[in-house]
Amino acid sequence: MTDIKENEVAADPTPARFDTLPLDAKLLRAVDDSGYTSMTPIQAKAIPIVLAGQDVMGAAQTGTGKTAAFSIPLLQRMLKHENSSASPARHPVRALVLAPTRELADQVANNVKAYSKHTNLRVACVFGGIDMKPQTLQLKAGVEVLIATPGRLLDHIEAKNAVLNQVEYVVLDEADRMLDIGFLPDLQRILSYLPKTRQTLLFSATFSPEIKRLAESYLQNPQLVEVARPNATATNVEQLFYSVTDDEKRPAVLKVLRERSIKQAIVFVNSKLGCARLARSFERDGLRTNALHGDKSQDERLKALEAFKRGEVDVLVCTDVAARGLDIADLPAVFNFDVPFNAEDYVHRIGRTGRAGASGVAVTLVGKSDARLIADIEKLIKKKIDLDAIELDEERPRRPRREYEDRPAEPMAAAPAAPRPSYRAPAAPRDPLFDQPYEARNNGEAAAWEKTPANAASVGKGLSSYIKPKKKVAALFGAKRAPVAEATETAES
């Protein structure tokens, strides 16, 4: 593996402007339409290597234009296959871009479509959470560039909608998450459908040594391009750490928003349930709030993100589904309501602000149980973290009162107490026979239990006269009974 460090930039005559690159006029026109003139460091170092056909591992800070660093040169290399034929067979998948989240896949697809809008190259994006039928129709029509999440791509492969035997270029965006243990089995299955000879590109803001060793098994003699110290945070982002209790976190966010006059912010939490609850709490505080987490449908997630980009939402409460790759222009602040479990996620979270050279602020709220997580972040960014105290207002801010709540309450006349209905249990039915007094018999007839039964002579001693004598077993089987006298003689003899 060949390393290209930031200190080699001055010695390398890499062009600083896009118009000095060997790009087609169609791509230069699209780049100009996007407002790009000068290349960022990662673009200046990676684009020539990609154009040369070499494998690349690119590590750069978030918000430095990594998407353009791999998509523009790949489009240039695929222009040799450009055609205007309507036949799907003339438009096979030649470039595959894999992204870990649906939002990132959609954003990458929008950027690639913008760069290729003056060409005949077709671009499609497939991800889960929505109906497969429109995606299937698009794939059947033929596409050259396919951006996908691993799970939905496997669904299309198994359904025979996506054929990847002509793929020439593979890109793993946010590669550290793509090579994580959660995505590794799906990634291995997808790569098994691809040709062995291909150009592979890996781009991310964080690369651990383990990920580098694992990535080398998928790349052939890769060029490692690092335009900043690995896992470094953006220098134009002010990082603040406040020591608070759990009950002080929400008032702390409201205080920072008010004191710094922050109009919009993203608040990151670690759980989906906490995300929804916190969004409702901010709503009660008078903020226009929305939640973005994995339990929402993809349509709801995209609508929430678009509303935030349009400025219709003040605070977007998110889990880590929005921590990677999302490009939101002019986002002034990011809050870590919960310290992330993975230190790498901290770098990606605060990278949502301070993008494209702008300034931003990242506030992390640290509780007593977060000491180990903060130590992991210090180890990753190689910087000592000092916790500051924050003075909170005594009164908790309330949401503004509604118009109808400002009206004085009118005294209500006491309603007369309604008479309590009397309840009387219904009388039980009576039998006149039980109400009659006891009368003795006058006819001298004995009671039934005093009468002597007709079979009293045949009843054995010690038994009630009303109990029938038991039959002998022989009589039960139809045997004839011997007379009493004969039985006695037999016994004496």
Mean pLDDT by 10 residues, the chain (493 residues): 47 64 91 86 90 88 80 93 91 93 87 93 91 93 94 93 93 77 81 91 77 78 75 72 91 91 89 88 90 80 84 88 68 90 83 72 91 89 86 61 53 58 65 72 60 56 59 58 52 49
Q: Where are the beta strands (DSSP E) in 178-236?
A: 199-204, 223-226
Secondary structure element (H or E) that encloses residue 56, with its range? strand 56-59
pLDDT of residue 398: 52
pLDDT of residue 297: 78
pLDDT of residue 218: 80
The size of the chain, in residues, is 493
Q: Give me the amino acid identity at 78.
A: M
pLDDT of residue 12: 45
pLDDT of residue 276: 86
DSSP bridge pairs for 170: 96, 200
pLDDT of residue 347: 83
pLDDT of residue 356: 59
- The DSSP code for 244 is -
CATH class of 237-381: alpha beta
Q: How many CB atoms lie within 10 A of CB 208?
A: 16
pLDDT of residue 443: 61
pLDDT of residue 170: 94
Same CATH topology for 2-226 and 237-381: the answer is yes
- The DSSP code for 169 is E
pLDDT of residue 48: 92
pLDDT of residue 464: 58
**Main-chain phi, psi angles of 153, to 5 degrees:** -65, -40
Q: Does domain 2-226 correspond to CATH entry 3.40.630.10?
A: no
**Domain ranges within the chain, ordered by starting residue:** 2-226, 237-381
Q: Please report the DSSP string for 300-311 in residue order.
A: HHHHHHHHHHTT
**Cβ(156)–Cβ(136) under 8 Å?**
yes
Contacts of 492 (CB under 8 A, 6+ apart): none
Q: Three-class SS of residue 344? A: helix
pLDDT of residue 109: 92
Q: Give me the amino acid identity at 421.
A: P
